[in-house]
Structures are given as structure tokens and as C-alpha cells.
């Protein structure tokens, strides 16, 4: 298994290109199942999760061709010949569950393995099931698989989510595009990835309004046609790289960065003493003097502070002046990076969903272990500010969500390399 060696090397300077969003691409790809005509995605990120979704779609009979080094995905689901999403693939990546809604709508049946638990929490699918059953699907859990069928097709309905679940909103919105009649999703997720999916579905002929708000209305139609769609910028990769100059000092421009995608996060950076400026080509982030100030953070559904940036923010606050309180309200077990940061000298007390972080003068490099995707990159960020060498092991977690992290950081002066394991 590869590991990454980071050596604290002072302030950074230069530009980092931000890729297309993993979490948008992982819901845009299953949208190909809704139509017999080709769907092509551009600005796709080159990540192992995208390769996992590619393998899953191909196992269902879809054609997925990766072009331009993976930045273009040319897909066609003209000849689907399998409606079972196998445990072997689904257990690797929870987002595999996003084939459920489209398959049900297109084929009238689907068998999708439950994803199983993952590092950050139980992550059940009750809200996905609730929404699809409201559209008339019959769903039964048997041998760890969801067996779903809609022999008479899906019918529009009003669906109220008890929690603004991103995946459940995506699954039900995709299914509703081919249901008979009108569907209204209440307390729907508002993430930019939902808006990107709705935009792509509209290009395919779907009738969707209200995406980006908590009430989305979908008028079902008989069939969707093909389209070409650019994947929206990855706001989590963007936020992650905004933290590099924040924690190491210096000034970095994140190319393609958009302030509207990270508004609440940028607000917290500003409070912490980091300057964020919009430029013609992205977002410039500078920390050229003065200490990082402690700030309190609570993770919430969009437009609140994103849970996927909590671990990375904790690394910054571990170097701040004062004590910060981080509340993780989305997942029940998303502080596994805390003990690893503690090995680097951070002072963190975790109690349930709350972490109290008291900043220290200087983090110290140490061998640490990645536990999940975002935890692994928070350890790299800490390594940028630490004295001495930090070796982050199990970086396969990292490769799921960050393309060439060492190359992007080397380009702005970081001392970082991959050690082939």
C-alpha cells in the first residue's frame, strides 16, 4: 500500500487546478441508466471511485468509455442486461446505491446490495426506501440486498424527507423523472451536486424545478434523451486546497474555484484570519501574517458548513490560538482523524459528536494512518505545517477522492512525495 511523505516546508505559493466534483459525478453517471441514448460527461475527475462506478455500470450492461485521460466519460445504456448491483462492488462504495432509482424507473425492477457500514457511520438507506415506496415501488430486504420492483411503473407523489439526505434526494429525483404524474420532494437536500444533477437531467428532457431549494417538483415524462454535461467544480477538493495556504502560510490561487460553492466555509476561514478573494480564474487564499484564530464550527446540510470539510478544518484549528468547538451533526463517527492528529501533538478532546480543539504552537511530524477519505487529507494538511516528516499510510483512501494530491501540492512548493508500497 502506498504512503505519502510530507515535510513541513514553510509558506506555499502558486496555483492549484480544481477538478470536477466526485460527488456530482457519482450521481451523474447512474443518470445514464434513465435513457437509451448516450450521456457524455466532461470535466470528470480521475479518481478510483469513478472507476468503481464505471465497473458497476458496465456490470449492468451499460457502455462507459473513458476518454482524454478520464476527463470525458462517454456512456450509453441502450442494452442493459443485468439489474443486480453486486455486493462485491457496492461494498467498496456507498454511492453505488444511486443506481437503484434509475434502474427501477427504466427497467421496473432492481436488486441492489445494501452498502454495509463504513468508517464514518452506519449510513442506512431508510430515506431512499421511503421515497421510492412513495412512488409506488415495492422494496424488500433479503440476504443483504434490496429487491425493488415497480411492475406497473412509478407514480408521482409527495415525498417528505425527515432528513435532507443527499443520496435519497438524488435517487428519488432520478426515479421521478420517468414516473407518471407529478412528484414533490419536501425537505430535499440543497447541495450544489443536486443542482448539477437536475441541470443534467433537464438537458436530457426532464421537467424539474426548485433544485437548490428544499422543495423540488418533477413532472414525469415517458422517456429521456441523451445529453452532454460538464461536471460541476468539486467544492470539497476546493475547500481542502484552500486550507493548504491557510495552515502552511503563503498565497495560493485555486483555479476554477467558485465562492458560491463554499460560502459558509469561506466565512469561517475569514473569521480564522485567512483572506479569500475572488479572481477572474478562481479563488485566491492568503495567510501572510498573524496567527490563526480559533473558530467554532457546526456541520450542517448545504448551505451550512460541509461535513466533508470538518476533518480538514480540524487540522487548521489544531494550529490556532485558542480553543475551537467542532460539532459533527451529519455522521455519528467522523472524528477518526482526531487520534491521528493527536499523534502529531494536537490537543483534541472528543465527546460524542463534539470535539474541543486547543491550538498548539507547533505540530510535530509523525507516522499516521488514514482511516477514511477526508481524514486522510486532513493529515496531509497537518503535515504541511508540522515540523519534520509525516508519513500518512493507507493512502488508498485518499485516491478515492483526490487526483494526484502530491502533484498538486508540489506545484505550490510543498515538500511531499508518494512512497510506493
Near ligand EPZ by CB under 6 A: residue from 116, 124, 144, 322: 124
Near ligand EPZ by CB under 6 A: residue from 51, 91, 109, 123: 123
Q: Does 35 bind ligand EPZ (CB under 6 A)?
A: no
User: Residue 168 or 348: which CB sits closer to ligand EPZ?
Assistant: 168
d(CA 50, CA 60): 16
CB atoms within 10 A of CB 203: 15
Contact 418, 376 (CB under 8 A): no
Q: Does 166 bind ligand EPZ (CB under 6 A)?
A: yes
Near ligand EPZ by CB under 6 A: residue from 83, 92, 128, 337: 128
**Is the C-alpha dihedral spanning 10, 15, 19, 24 positive or negative?**
positive
d(CA 189, CA 192): 9
Q: Does 307 bind ligand EPZ (CB under 6 A)?
A: yes
User: Residue 262 or 386: which CB sits closer to ligand EPZ?
Assistant: 262
Grid coordinates 506545484 are at which residue? 411
Q: Does 94 bind ligand EPZ (CB under 6 A)?
A: yes
User: Could you say which DSSP state residue 372 is in?
Assistant: S
Near ligand EPZ by CB under 6 A: residue from 32, 54, 76, 165: 165
CB atoms within 10 A of CB 278: 13
Mark out the alpha helices in 38-82 (DSSP H runs). Answer: 48-59
229, β-bridge pairs? 41
User: Residue 93 or 369: which CB sits closer to ligand EPZ?
Assistant: 93
Q: How many residues bind ligand EPZ (CB under 6 A)?
A: 25
**Is the C-alpha dihedral spanning 111, 155, 164, 27 positive or negative?**
positive
Give catalytic status of residue 25 as yes or no: no
* Pattern 353-392, ligand EPZ, x by CB under 6 A: --------------------xx------------------
Q: Does 168 bind ligand EPZ (CB under 6 A)?
A: yes
Query: What distance lies between CA 132 and its chain's CA centroid?
Result: 23
Residues designated as active site: 118
Contact residues toward ligand EPZ (CB under 6 A) are 22-23, 26, 94-95, 121-128, 163, 165-168, 307-308, 330-331, 373-374, 401
Amino acid at each position: 500500500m502506498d504512503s505519502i511523505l510530507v515535510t513541513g516546508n514553510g509558506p506555499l505559493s502558486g496555483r492549484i487546478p480544481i477538478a470536477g466534483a466526485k460527488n456530482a459525478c457519482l450521481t451523474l453517471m447512474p443518470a445514464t441508466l434513465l435513457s437509451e441514448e448516450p450521456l457524455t460527461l466532461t470535466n470528470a475527475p480521475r479518481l478510483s471511485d469513478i472507476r468503481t462506478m464505471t465497473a458497476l455500470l458496465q456490470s449492468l450492461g451499460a457502455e462507459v468509455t473513458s476518454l482524454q485521460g478520464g476527463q470525458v466519460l462517454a456512456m450509453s445504456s441502450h442494452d442493459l442486461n443485468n439489474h443486480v448491483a453486486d455486493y462485491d462492488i457496492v461494498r467498496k462504495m456507498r454511492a453505488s446505491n444511486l443506481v437503484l432509482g434509475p434502474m427501477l424507473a427504466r427497467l421496473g425492477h432492481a436488486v441492489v446490495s445494501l452498502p454495509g457500514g463504513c468508517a464514518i457511520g452506519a449510513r442506512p438507506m431508510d430515506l431512499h426506501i421511503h421515497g421510492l415506496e412513495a412512488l409506488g415501488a415495492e422494496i424488500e430486504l433479503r440476504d443483504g440486498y434490496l429487491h425493488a420492483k415497480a411492475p406497473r411503473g412509478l407514480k408521482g407523489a409527495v415525498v417528505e424527507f425527515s432528513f435532507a439526505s443527499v443520496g435519497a434526494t438524488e435517487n428519488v429525483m432520478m426515479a421521478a423523472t420517468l414516473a407518471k404524474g407529478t412528484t414533490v420532494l419536501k425537505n430535499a437536500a440543497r447541495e450544489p451536486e443536486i443542482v448539477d444533477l437536475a441541470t443534467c437531467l433537464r438537458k436530457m428532457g426532464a421537467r424539474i424545478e426548485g433544485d437548490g431549494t428544499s422543495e423540488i417538483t418533477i413532472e414525469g415524462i415517458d422517456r429521456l434523451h441523451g445529453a452532454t454535461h460538464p461536471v460541476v467544480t468539486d467544492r470539497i477538493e476546493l475547500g481542502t486546497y484552500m486550507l493548504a495556504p491557510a495552515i502552511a502560510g503563503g498565497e495560493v490561487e485555486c483555479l476554477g474555484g467558485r465562492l458560491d460553492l463554499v460560502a459558509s466555509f469561506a466565512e469561517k476561514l475569514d473569521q480564522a484570519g485567512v483572506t479569500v478573494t475572488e479572481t477572474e480564474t478562481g479563488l485566491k487564499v492568503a495567510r501572510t501574517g498573524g496567527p490563526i484564530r480559533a473558530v467554532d464550527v457546526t456541520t450542517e446540510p448545504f448551505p451550512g458548513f460541509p461535513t466533508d470539510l470538518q476533518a480538514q478544518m480540524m487540522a487548521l484549528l489544531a494550529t490556532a490560538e485558542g480553543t475551537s468547538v467542532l460539532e459533527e451533526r451529519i455522521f455519528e463517527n467522523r472524528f477518526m482523524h482526531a487520534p491521528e492528529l493527536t499523534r502529531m501533538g494536537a490537543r483534541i478532546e472528543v465527546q460524542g459528536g463534539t470535539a474541543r480543539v486547543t491550538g498548539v504552537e507547533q505540530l510535530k511530524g509523525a507516522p499516521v494512518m488514514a482511516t477514511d477519505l477526508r481524514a486522510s487529507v486532513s493529515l496531509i494538511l497537518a503535515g504541511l505545517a508540522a515540523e519534520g516528516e509525516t508519513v500518512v499510510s493507507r493512502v488508498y483512501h485518499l485516491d478515492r477522492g483526490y487526483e494526484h494530491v502530491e502533484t498538486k501540492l508540489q506545484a505550490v512548493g510543498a515538500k511531499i512525495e508518494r512512497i510506493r508500497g
